[in-house]
Amino acid sequence: MNKIKSLVSARIMCGTSGHNHCCRHYRSGGSGGGGVGGVGATASSATMRSLPTEAKVIIYGNDLTALSIAYQLSQKGNFGPNCLVITGQKSDALSDSDSPQVNSCLLNHMIVANPRVSQLIQFSHQLFDVNTTGAVYVAHNPWTVDSFRRRISSSKLVFADDSGVNLLSKEDIERLYGQYLNCDQLLGALHVPNDGIIEDIAGQQRRLRALAVESGVQFVDNYLLSKIKINNNKISNVELIDCHTNRAKRIDCQYFVNSSNNYLTRLIAKRCPTRVRIPTLCTYNQVMVTKPFDGLHGTGGDGGGDSGVPIIHDFDQRFTVYQTSDRSLYLTGYEKVSKILQKNITSHPLRAYKLWITMYFKALKNLGQLVGDGECGQVVAIDNHFGFGWQRSHVLTENDRNGGMNTEIPEVYGNWDDFYRILKPIQERIPALSGAKLHKLVARLENFTPDGRSLIGEVPEIGNYLLAAAVAPQLAAGAGRLITDIITKSDNTFGHDFWSLDPRRFIPSQSNRIFLFDRLREVPAKARYNVNYPAPHNDYQTGHGLRTSPLYPRFKQAGALFQQIMGYERPAVYMGAVELDDYQSGLSDSESQSNEPLRHRYLETQSFGRPHWLDAVHQEYQACRERVALLDYCSFSKLELRSQGDEVVELLQYLCSNDVDINVGSIVHTGMQNERGGYENDVSLLRMADNHYMLIGPTEQQSRCISWIKSHDLDSVVDIRDISGQYTTLCLMGPLSKLVLSEVLADPSELNTFPFFTYKELAIGLAPEVRVCNLTHTGELGWVLYVPNDNAGHVYDMLVRVGQRYDMRHAGSIAMRTLRIEKFFAFWGQDLDTTTTPLECGRAFRVKFDKDFLGKRALLRQREEGVRRRYVQLLLDDFDDKCQVWPWGGEPIFICDPQYDSRAPVGLTTTTGYGFTLGRHVCLGFIRHPHNEIVSNDFILKSKFEVEVGGKRFKARTNIHSPKLTDVSGTYLATRSGPDL
């Protein structure tokens, strides 16, 4: 305690006040330190006379991400001269030199367990100047060490085998870093030599801007964004307001990129008449900076960079310490429960007006000027400068003064009481810091989403509106490349999809502030220091209850543990019936500072080995295969499409690779391919009438599917309705499901003529119109029932009552996942993505080449040339279930053949599960040829492969067709069959 006080007391010696007040600026997108003013004041800034009337791309923002997008676009053909960057800042703004700031950031490849995201970080390493210091991730707990083992395996998909990423023992830590690192209670550490520091963000920005300007990109400084115009669901032009003259300028564009990448992201979205919902808010973070300190330099370590001191991450204590080349130390971290930036403007007109008057005088005092507009009555409200050098301003319009817009006006200060809780474990882990002298404590804001990942790509509401939000600087270059690929319609640079970063992975209600205030309390700590327990079998504690089925209370009473997907509470596994008041979950009262505990049973899997729920899933699995089980399918995306004439048939025939012109009452599975033949969507279509279809898709496709179809229905002749919330969907699965269904139907004889892949509207009990489908989406026998919500409770009670005579069980999504993995069924978003073609995943039999459809040309070309990767099933015969780490997806696949390099991965697992019928672990994934040659059946079946799980390799047998499984009715062959090519 005394050592910590000595460090804190040093701030008195350097003459700082009790709070670090952030200086106010008249700029919105700038980044960096004193040099940023220079970034905005270059001769390349456009004036009113030089502003073009049109541009292919307009980018709003001036941070590292926005400049990365501008630079990379400028390197693509003629996009440079047709690209305009609205910086949102004044070129004659006040200097930043006295502002508290953090003009550096980290490049951490292993801060995320997803190897695909690590590729984006690696791309930033190539584009930016990085001081490669290396990093050490220390672990206090055995599960953190297990997490490191998984990360070492996944790193082989990003780095070469000789990259030096390795696991350190406690003895290794003491030998390398013991002179300044307290190794008590440490169990191990992960050493990553490739990690480093971007020390001069402002300098990086100046360099990118200069390179972009050389290629013709124009930067617009003295303008603010006023309006975004929409035509046919696309942005047609934007209107800018001159900060000095208040004159408006309209510029036509083909793409608009919102890359303000801070709290302005939501405000910019409100400039659009079509509401663009952005699920982000800012959380409060602090960084303590010391004066140059040599107490760590030269005392140990092998960072290899200029400083010689590696970055130190403590996942269990949630802090980070790094040292720049000027020997200054940066100390930061996140508490378990973060503080969220609260909104300051209410909908009450008088309160809004009072705030407007306050902001008027604050602006007048800080700048000595007021920028008004006689027509719009705009007042520029200036606020703070934060971490990563971001600067922000807000424009209060007449709507704001009348309470029509929830404008955020944050005031952020350094708070020693809060930072002490982060500083204390840092001081205990690195005692040598007691000799460091404080320079400043910086308060900053960081944007986060409900799942802690960035938003990069097209928004679902508008076709040519692109978003780069919640992007950390270490992802800036990779994000810029993804946006560039979309705009230029280029092949994906990284060779695979980034659905985990796509804005369409969220639904509109997840941008609700109440939900975000709840969820984002725990997101920052997990996003920055997460152990990354198996997903999707591990959920957040907060933000539950957003979307629930009418049967949600009944599922809870039956013992369901839920996992949230697209905001929907879906039963994952049933662990025994409970009384409704016997459980509560979420952050504790002391952690959440709330008197109301969250009453939701969410699934937690805090192990990388045998999960605690495996036996329960086994019982559910047996019920599905041998008797009968009841599953909740409510979360599935459900749309209705209809037209006056044949327009809906023509549209779907063009979008779908299978033939959808089927008989009324039939069901067809089909992909919706993009121009390159990849899966944009993977759906089932029920033909209700000649010009009426019902579309069923994976839960994650709800926003994506609607936007994809609308983007091709240019004349809006097809009526598209989202009915996901109108039906309660239940699945009766198993060989006895027909007997249960026959006892609840008003007319059981309907089942006598009810073939596979058809549907009927039948009466169940007192429910007159239940859509009954003869399929299960897992390859098992069964029925899916689409019940109007009004009748859901009645139908459920009847099924449960009748099902008791057949020993029916409830089953969750994990059992369903296990069934489809064992049957070799691929799911979109988990196995399939926009880069996967039907020929690569064994679904060529679902492609009808005798008709015209989107992506046909690409598939014909691939069929002629051959595929270069294949979707396979791998059976781990010699895997010991007692191993500490099980396969959970994302494991590298290696080939074991003397003629090939066995050190380089040839593939990646996508989804995994324990196959109870096969009696071994089953992995699904993709395999490429080591020499990037055509992948034939013989290559897959005759080669020997291994899967690396937690640092150990296990032999794997490969299948390219569904395995033959035996059930109570004899031999059963899953429906994934047909010719591969």
Backbone phi, psi, residue 594, to 5°: -130, 145
Q: How confident is the model at residue 882 (pLDDT cuts 50, 70, 90)?
A: confident
CB atoms within 10 A of CB 349: 12
Residue range 68-122, pLDDT digits in tens? 999 999 999 889 999 999 987 765 443 343 343 688 888 887 767 677 888 899 8
Residue range 784-841, pLDDT digits in tens? 999 999 999 999 999 999 999 999 999 999 999 999 999 999 999 889 999 999 999 9
Alpha-helix runs per DSSP H in 669-803 = 702-712, 737-744, 792-803
Q: What is the pLDDT of residue 46?
A: 59
The domains of the chain are located at: 54-98+201-278+450-508, 638-723+836-863, 867-980
Residue-wise DSSP of 909-940: EEEEEEETTTTEEEEEEEEE-TTS----HHHH
Q: How confident is the model at residue 297 (pLDDT cuts 50, 70, 90)?
A: low
Superfamily for 867-980? Aminomethyltransferase beta-barrel domains (2.40.30.110)
8 A C-beta contact, residue 292 and residue 439: no
Domain 54-98+201-278+450-508 maps to which CATH number in 3.50.50.60, 3.40.980.10, 1.10.287.70, 3.40.50.300?
A: 3.50.50.60
Backbone phi, psi, residue 560, to 5°: -70, 140
Q: How confident is the model at residue 490 (pLDDT cuts 50, 70, 90)?
A: confident
Residue 955, judged by CB atoms within 10 A of its CB (0-12, 13-18, 19+), counts as: middle
8 A C-beta contact, residue 469 and residue 322: no
Whole-angstrom Cα distance, residue 554 to residue 636?
19
Superfamily for 638-723+836-863? Aminomethyltransferase beta-barrel domains (3.30.70.1400)
Our CA angle for 264, 58, 85, nearest 5°, is: 75
8 A C-beta contact, residue 453 and residue 338: no
Whole-angstrom Cα distance, residue 971 to residue 977?
15
Mean pLDDT of 348-366: 44
Our CA angle for 438, 444, 445, nearest 5°, is: 160
Q: What is the pLDDT of residue 47?
A: 54
Whole-angstrom Cα distance, residue 785 to residue 816?
16
Residue range 726-757, pLDDT digits in tens? 999 999 999 999 999 999 999 999 999 999 99
Backbone phi, psi, residue 585, to 5°: -145, 180
For 521, the 3-state DSSP assignment is coil
Whole-angstrom Cα distance, residue 864 to residue 268?
47
pTM: 0.85
Mean of the per-residue pLDDT values of the chain:
83
Residue range 141-169, pLDDT digits in tens? 999 999 999 988 988 888 876 678 899 99
* 686, pLDDT greater than 60: yes
Q: What is the pLDDT of residue 118?
A: 86
Q: What is the pLDDT of residue 380?
A: 28
Whole-angstrom Cα distance, residue 202 to residue 100?
14
Residue range 231-242, pLDDT digits in tens? 888 999 999 988
For 407, the 3-state DSSP assignment is coil
Whole-angstrom Cα distance, residue 456 to residue 261?
11
